Amino acid sequence: MPTPGTSADDFQIYASYRGSAAAGFFGTLKVVRKTDGRLLFPFEGADTIGPFATKADAVAAALARGDALVNADLARPEL
């Protein structure tokens, strides 16, 4: 049975990047709700994060998306 998180500590955000300076850098993201192991991101049909000019911008955008997903799941848990 799904167990919603009650705080941001109940989630794990993994953010990184892929790509190159020539093609642009894209943020990569994985968000897991630790209370039940549910993978919240990525999901089928999820849009890409980027491209960005720098690795740091790509990672920052991925982290921001992860934070937004955590806040959304805390407000309305995906069950």
The continuous run of DSSP H or E covering 74 comes out as helix 55-75
Instruction: Count CB-CB contacts under 10 A for residue 1.
Output: 4
Residue 76: the pLDDT is: 96
50-74 pLDDT, tens digit each: 999 999 999 999 999 999 999 999 9
d(CA 34, CA 19): 29
Residue written as token pair 């955000």: 13
b or e along 10-42 (b: 16 or more beta carbons within 10 Å of the residue's beta carbon)? bbebebebebeeeeebbbbbebbbeeeebebbe
pLDDT-derived band of residue 32, with 50, 70 and 90 as boundaries? very high
pTM for this one? 0.93
Residue 21: the pLDDT is: 94
Name the more confident of 2 and 75. 75
In the chain, domain spans: 8-73
